[in-house]
Structure 1
Amino acid sequence: MFNIIRFSKIFTVIFLNLHTINRFGHHELTNEKLFIRQLDAGKNEIKNIQQPVDHFDAKETRTWNMTYIQNLEFWKPNGPIYISIGGASSYKTQLNIFKKGFFLYDLAKETNGALFGTEHRYYGKNTPLSNTNTENLKYLNSRQALADVAKLIKHVKSKLKAENSKVVVAGGSTLGNAGNLAAWMRLFYTDIVDAAVSASGPVLAKADFKDFFEIVGENYLKYGTSGCYDKITKMFIRFQTLLSTPEGTKQLKKEEEICDFVNMSMKENQQVFFEFYLDKYILSAYVAPDVTYFEDECEKNFNDTNLESDLFLSKPDYVVRDEQGWCYNFDFFQLFNRKFKDCWLYQQCTEFGAFPSTEAGKHPFTNSLPVEYYYKACKLQFGPEFGKNRVEDGIKATNEMYGGLHPNVTKVVFVNGEFDPWRRLGVTENLSDDAPAFVIAKSGRAELLIHPYMDVDSDELKDARKKVKSLVKKWIGL
């Protein structure tokens, strides 16, 4: 059953990612005051560094203030410098890892290191340009983000008078490309980065990520209760059956509290509905602390929505108020045609793809969400030129630049979790002796970095932390 230790671990992950679960635009962290109170006062400093809007065009002279976190609690001269790279969320979602019991914090303590956390451009309060139009987002890409981190490294080494200090970068987040960026920092900046930890980094760009829901389905088939997988299949088949007739559609709208104004005969709106339900299973890859999570989920009523919890925790953009009260808005046009552009979706449409579709593969979710849904979303959000061809061109350029599943790197350790569907886009086999990779059994996304050490941790996770620490220390000469 669901004990207090397991609940604490799940709550930690959800709390770290309240900002990132919502995929339609970016809002500040829910209940921020409660979050900030968890910090160790006086040890973490929030600072800013001036960054170029464009690192690669000397004619572009505009700058912006990048936010970063600094912790010098254990720092001693010439000690190592650890850089935690931020993903697709504000710096606030990183603050909790700057506490006792988290991987990088404890590693800094063991080695007399300095610890820093970066905020990815465009995902925080300070940003190069506003995300109110597509033109402003042209500076949102991985190369610019890598250059931001490189400039920060040079800045802190100068401030600390630490020219001889070794630098270790680490990245792992539930949304975005922090794990990728860590590996790619070693690829492009070997002169200033000595080692890297890439946790759950989907380094391969791919448009139709149909493998995603295969892994989700495997998790429920392998670790769910008896009959759970079939129960999910029947639920999704029932949804499709209801939506195939006017009478069934009317019934579904009533059962699921869908707003009256939403035309559920439109296939795009139906696909929004299915994405909403699929997100419930996507979440399992991020918060499952052990295999009993899937058993607990299977024991619940899969067809039970909760307007109050969805409004507070996971999907406030789906929940609106009409004449009848609170209801779910699954209108494709309204959700994607917004003033503020979704920054992570922009990077998917221009660099990474990784659109989870259900058209093919062995899973219980039927063919409810085609990849074309995402292509339409790209075009509606950013303009008619951001369709399938733009996505595929961006993916090709990304893989050519970074090497896909075979980046030419050393002193990088690639760590993935068994529960994490993104591992299908990650490095899961050793590239060399100095670029090892392993998958942690019974582990979720980026657990190595974003989960605190707790009694509930599996032996596999504990062993992985020891291995990664040993590698990092060896690579920086400790």
Structure 2
Amino acid sequence: MARLVLCVLLVVPLLGGCDGAWNQRQLRKRIHQLREIQYFKSFYSRLGVPKGAPYVPAVEGYITQPLDHFNRRNNATYKQRYWINEEFWQRPGGPVFLYIGGEAAESEFSVLSGEHVELAQKHRSLLVSLEHRYYGASINQDGLTLEGIRFLSSQQALADLASFHMFISQKYNLTRNNTWICFGGSYPGSLSAWFRLKFPHLVYAAVASSAPVRAELNFIDYNKVVADSLSDPVIGGSEKCLDKVKDSFRVVESLLKVGNITQLEKDFFSCASLHPPDDYTEFVSNLADIFMGAVQYNNEMPSSDVRKICQQMISAGSAYEGLISVNAIYMESMGLKCVENSHEKTLSDLRKTELDPVGVGERQWYYQTCTEFGYYQTCEHASCPFSPRITLQSQLELCTKVFQITTESVFQAVQFTNEFYGADHPKSSRIIFVNGDVDPWHALSVLKNQSHSEIAIFINGTAHCANMAPSHATDPPSLQKAREEIAMKIGEWLKSAREEPFLGSALS
């Protein structure tokens, strides 16, 4: 069904489709793989730098954490995975850069590659990362059951970070002179900002990339940005492209209404017959996911970005033929023989409680949308170029069917999240909010400076978490400028921390 595309992979996060649509799940897995390759290449290209320094491998470890930080009568614990890279650290007083994990498994590349690693090399920092509870290997065997999953929340995750801060400080005999700066992108970007907000005595500053800090039940602005991006000539879009996309979905909708289902099943390689009404919604959501993913992850998928998709739509004989072509090329790039459009299969997948220590945690992330964030990307507004079948109700029903969580409970949870964190006006200090105008998630982030030290950087022409990737000579000028601004501000804050060593974690 509809999607929830956040950022969560390896070093760069991944917010993805909320409704569990099959195409979205496949895309998230593929992006995860591609980013792993990217960070792998980047890491090995820099080996030997600085010259003459021996390579110090990253260390993997586990810390025992309370399952419930807020009820000390509950003695249950779990093992949380972390990574440490001492390669650049100038002992004993060098800063500590904390990379925060999110809705997928982490790997050693979380401390070996990426923007934060390049900054750590410059500032001689100790690099540490913490995998998010309930994702990857940081989960107990019964963690995905209805009873076990109730301890998954952003509040518990922040408490994990505070406990990890104490663990690292004790392990390396750190003092208040060791300045901590945290980094995260997408949902972990929100956690980065919230860690600074809620624990200012522990972390001196934060970088929050593509961070949707405002929870939103009905996230209609997501597809507004998708439509804007499909018509943006800077990234290869056009009004003609957007019109073709709209027309193609109107044709699909007309075929669904008249019952010409066999043609749709054949033209779009459905794995099985479509049954109304839920499979129809799953079907149009999977088609929409291709365009939504192309926008959110623009230039990350070799054959699926805005420019290429628009070229395919415009060059086709009709809008409908363009949609068939886009779907076929997407399937080829993903290695798919057919597309799974069964709503029952989606429900079955989200109900699975077997653990998977790698990849994206689909069940866990959907649970968090039901209990904290919403983020449901709908198509019930005139600006949406896709099918009006992608409704808020169609996605909220998953909360009830999978987790027995009522719609009213989801609504209240979203309200509480915004009250607890301050939404897009968090009233903190020393936080950099970085967003790209192509990224649909920027609509829920901080886009204007909130104070002299709560800074917003807006990058033209870039998508989700673009600044978090390793720097490259081919980066567009807008991204290069943003990286310079981030680096300059980090340098300024580290300097101010050194000048006031015993105020290093205090509020400014």
Q: What is the letter of the counterpart of residue 81 of structure 2? A: T
* Correspondence 1:204 to 2:223: no
* Correspondence 1:85 to 2:100: yes
The residue correspondences of 1:247-258 to structure 2 (distance < 5 A) are 248-258=260-270
CA deviation after TM superposition for structure 1 residue 226, in Å: 5.8
* Correspondence 1:271 to 2:274: no
Change (3 A) 1:53 1:405: same
DSSP 3-state at the match of 2:137: coil
Gaps in structure 2 of 5+ consecutive residues:
1-7, 45-54, 313-321, 354-361, 497-508
Change (3 A) 1:66 1:427: same
CA deviation after TM superposition for structure 1 residue 109, in Å: 0.9
Aligned with residue 329 of structure 1, among 326, 340, 346: 340
- 1:239 maps to what in 2? 252
CA deviation after TM superposition for structure 1 residue 129, in Å: 5.1
* Alpha-carbon separation, structure 1, partners of 2:36 and 2:118: 25
Deviations 1:312-357 (A, max 9, x none): 849xxxx7xxxxxx53331212211332371101000110001000
* Correspondence 1:434 to 2:453: yes
- TM-score, with structure 2 as normaliser: 0.80
- 2:376 maps to what in 1? 355
Q: What is the letter of the counterpart of residue 418 of structure 1? A: D
The residue correspondences of 1:263-412 to structure 2 (distance < 5 A) are 263=275, 266-289=276-299, 293-300=305-312, 301-304=322-325, 310=331, 313=334, 327-337=338-348, 338-340=351-353, 342-383=363-404, 386-412=405-431
DSSP 3-state at the match of 2:200: coil
* Alpha-carbon separation, structure 1, partners of 2:258 and 2:453: 58
* Alpha-carbon separation, structure 2, partners of 1:268 and 1:379: 15
* Correspondence 1:452 to 2:470: yes
- 1:6 maps to what in 2? none
- TM-score, with structure 1 as normaliser: 0.85
Name the stretch that deviates more: 250-259 or 56-65.
250-259
DSSP 3-state at the match of 1:456: coil
Aligned with residue 219 of structure 1, among 206, 210, 229: 229
- 1:10 maps to what in 2? none
**Conserved 8 A contact 1:210-1:361:** no
DSSP 3-state at the match of 1:304: helix
CA deviation after TM superposition for structure 1 residue 387, in Å: 2.7
Gaps in structure 1 of 5+ consecutive residues:
1-12, 320-325
**Conserved 8 A contact 2:13-2:185:** no
- 2:200 maps to what in 1? 190
* Alpha-carbon separation, structure 1, partners of 2:166 and 2:389: 48
- 2:48 maps to what in 1? none
Aligned with residue 46 of structure 1, among 53, 60, 83: 60
- 1:120 maps to what in 2? 132
* Alpha-carbon separation, structure 2, partners of 1:114 and 1:120: 20
* Correspondence 1:71 to 2:85: yes
* Alpha-carbon separation, structure 2, partners of 1:285 and 1:339: 30
| Count of aligned positions | 444
Q: What is the letter of the counterpart of residue 332 of structure 1? A: H
**Identical aligned residues as a percent:** 26
- 2:500 maps to what in 1? none
CA deviation after TM superposition for structure 1 residue 55, in Å: 0.7
CA deviation after TM superposition for structure 1 residue 239, in Å: 0.8
Q: What is the letter of the counterpart of residue 419 of structure 1? A: V
Deviations 1:239-287 (A, max 9, x none): 10110122x1121112112234441xx1221111121112112212332
